[in-house]
Structure 1
């Protein structure tokens, strides 16, 4: 019976196709349904709403969050948000008397507001985010108030659909992101003319660069530099099956994003598919968790500038055995650290511990009031 289960409501800003929403979907779908009755609330519907409902997860869409809380009566609300102050957004949970509030803090920001104090546990998505949070805010990251929980990746699915023995094209590589300028760096295309020159000199076989999430700047660069024979811009993908098909069509992932990654979901998915990843450091205190995922020379290559980025692409194109070895090391790391079922199990343990602590605090408070 549902009443014997712990009721968990995941709250996301939308049910769109972004990484935050995908992580929420993975948590909701991978929680132990013998222990937890899970539902999802969002003010904005989107394609993930359909996927959630197909998986048997109830969704509540609209602006009246308080009514949803009164109807579903969650014991735990799990927020998926940037981490900074959002005035008024937490008030419904106070009014409804929600026992436990958990936050997946996507970007590692600090909410010093009185409302922010309502959150019982802030979970950072990488060790980088936790470390930067400590450094900037002089707040110790320690459980139960703070912790680190990597984003879940369905590594079992990618192992089955992108198996180690599959035929990998040696002259095709790719990039995948949202079609958002904020998810790009010029490193993602500035290296192309140098490789084009090598092809013209017959020092490099012709190659194909597949791009999901192209932006006008990239498309203009490709057109103006006569690179259209090397670059294919593709439509967006939504689910893991579509992502696996894309990963099976390339030999490595070319990642470049000036703002960096607080985790790097696409990087982790490429690793789970057995692909090495080229990425780069971010400047200053920008997100840099991509360096936490990619181990230079082991699971991919870290490039610091356009020349190094082009050299990394050239190396992986011309050294398929080394690329394959890096990819399999990447797969092993992803399975060890990001496997969705393991991450969901750990989240369930966190839920239980937070509820136990809240119940113990309540009993202690009753005892003190009786004295």
Structure 2
């Protein structure tokens, strides 16, 4: 069984997930990854090659079409990347058995086009929350039931539990930009009742980032400690008991690698009641879920005053993700799915009909409709994947002015 994965690149969480899956897959040599652009970070591509899988950069669409026609299964690593849209909606595709693995939730923009789920032979989400995406409500019950969920955020195995730590520490690790992290972080930290507590914040921050301005405006800016990027998350979180992971309500994450990894280290998370986080954290058992800024501030102060309860939730979190969030479970799920897909003949898909004929159609379909713009652009943040700025980088003539 030969599987060809089509991906824009293998950076970030997608590359990390596939490197772990290939490492756990005894048949990784059956798999080929075709990238639509040169990777900026080759780390995960190199790790994938070491497992026996093949990684190549696509020369042109003709080469990709030939590979699609010759392979048993084509798996598209889906998010709203301009090049992926161009491939799917470009020249007619050959007959294939198609699998999509979505790396965005679709709960908020960027949405997953309903027609894409309909057109795929098998559509896989990374979180069950995606089945509640508002723009998928028109799918037939049967089609939605035939979607799958395969996790892509994996635990750290063989690490120490929170009960081994000397004292309660509070940390955040992840994207330190308001495209994902909530500005409520600053307010919650300002309301700490323990003056000697600081929050270690791990992640890159641009010199001109609005995050730096928000820190400067805090009553207690010294509590928000920017630690920069770390290549060793285990060491960064080694003295952390509370993982303060308060995200924007419109973030498009699904598996949340940082959250799952922190939980596997025995950290008790404090999160907002966003759909994705609710699929990972069980309130009061494996962490705490806040419903508002005020509630988050109350819960963080409560956690600092109840170290025993923090240890209990951290131990529960560790045990749960070590059982459920493993590469072995995910690759077994994919192997079963691929075997089932092989029972059906190849067919010619109409992904172009699902996305529309032009870059404008592709972009608008994933932002909610004509005239809508992405949250990142509205906030003046750097271009993120699938943003208007990202689309314009590949399609400079993209024009979103009102249609006549």
Which deviations, in whole Å up to 9, do the C-alpha atoms of 1:167-190 show, x marking residues without a partner? 325342111222442112112221
| Secondary structure of the structure 2 residue equivalent to 1:232 | strand
Q: Determine the structure 2 residue equivalent to 1:24.
A: 18
| Secondary structure of the structure 1 residue equivalent to 2:200 | strand
Give the conservation status (yes or no) of the 8 Å contact 2:20–2:327.
yes
State which of 212, 235, 255 in structure 2 corresponds to 1:219: 212
Matches of 1:165 and 1:182, distance apart in 2: 30
TM-score, L = length of structure 1 = 0.78
Show structure 2 runs of 5+ residues with no match: 348-404
| Secondary structure of the structure 2 residue equivalent to 1:15 | coil
* Alpha-carbon distance, 1:89 to partner: 1.9
Give the conservation status (yes or no) of the 8 Å contact 1:299–1:327.
yes
Q: Determine the structure 2 residue equivalent to 1:256.
A: 246
Matches of 1:318 and 1:234, distance apart in 2: 25
Matches of 2:146 and 2:279, distance apart in 1: 23
Q: Determine the structure 1 residue equivalent to 2:279.
A: 292
Q: 1:181-192, aligned counterparts within 5 Å?
A: 181-192=178-189
* Alpha-carbon distance, 1:93 to partner: 9.5
Work out the number of aligned pairs and report it: 333
* 1:358 and 2:348 correspond: no
Q: 1:1-371, aligned counterparts within 5 Å?
A: 6-17=1-12, 19-33=13-27, 37-44=30-37, 45-47=39-41, 48-68=44-64, 70=66, 73-82=70-79, 87-90=85-88, 95-97=93-95, 99-106=96-103, 107-108=105-106, 109-113=111-115, 118-132=119-133, 136-140=137-141, 145-153=146-154, 155=155, 158-160=156-158, 162-164=159-161, 167-195=164-192, 198=193, 204=194, 206-213=196-203, 215=205, 216-225=209-218, 227-237=220-230, 242-258=232-248, 259-260=250-251, 261-282=253-274, 288-358=275-345
* Alpha-carbon distance, 1:326 to partner: 0.3
Matches of 2:133 and 2:119, distance apart in 1: 22
Give the conservation status (yes or no) of the 8 Å contact 1:152–1:343.
no
Matches of 1:66 and 1:170, distance apart in 2: 59
* Alpha-carbon distance, 1:43 to partner: 2.1
| Secondary structure of the structure 2 residue equivalent to 1:184 | coil
TM-score, L = length of structure 2 = 0.72
| Secondary structure of the structure 2 residue equivalent to 1:346 | helix
Give the conservation status (yes or no) of the 8 Å contact 2:163–2:311.
no
Which deviations, in whole Å up to 9, do the C-alpha atoms of 1:148-199 show, x marking residues without a partner? 222241x3xx231x2227632534211122244211211222112222xx3x
Task: Identify if the C-alpha distance between structure 1 residues 139 and 335 changes in structure 2 by more than 3 Å, giving closer, same or farther.
Answer: farther
Matches of 1:237 and 1:61, distance apart in 2: 28
Greater CA drift, 308-317 or 63-72: 63-72
Task: Identify if the C-alpha distance between structure 1 residues 144 and 129 changes in structure 2 by more than 3 Å, giving closer, same or farther.
Answer: closer
Matches of 1:207 and 1:291, distance apart in 2: 27
* Alpha-carbon distance, 1:12 to partner: 2.0
Give the conservation status (yes or no) of the 8 Å contact 1:130–1:148.
no
Give the conservation status (yes or no) of the 8 Å contact 2:24–2:328.
yes
Matches of 1:178 and 1:297, distance apart in 2: 26
Give the conservation status (yes or no) of the 8 Å contact 1:28–1:39.
no
| Secondary structure of the structure 2 residue equivalent to 1:191 | helix
Alignment RMSD, CA only? 3.1
Matches of 2:316 and 2:151, distance apart in 1: 18
Give the conservation status (yes or no) of the 8 Å contact 1:15–1:46.
no
* Alpha-carbon distance, 1:345 to partner: 0.8
Give the conservation status (yes or no) of the 8 Å contact 1:29–1:57.
no
Give the conservation status (yes or no) of the 8 Å contact 2:114–2:139.
no
Give the conservation status (yes or no) of the 8 Å contact 2:175–2:181.
no
Which deviations, in whole Å up to 9, do the C-alpha atoms of 1:11-41 show, x marking residues without a partner? 2222222x2332233333332327x612222
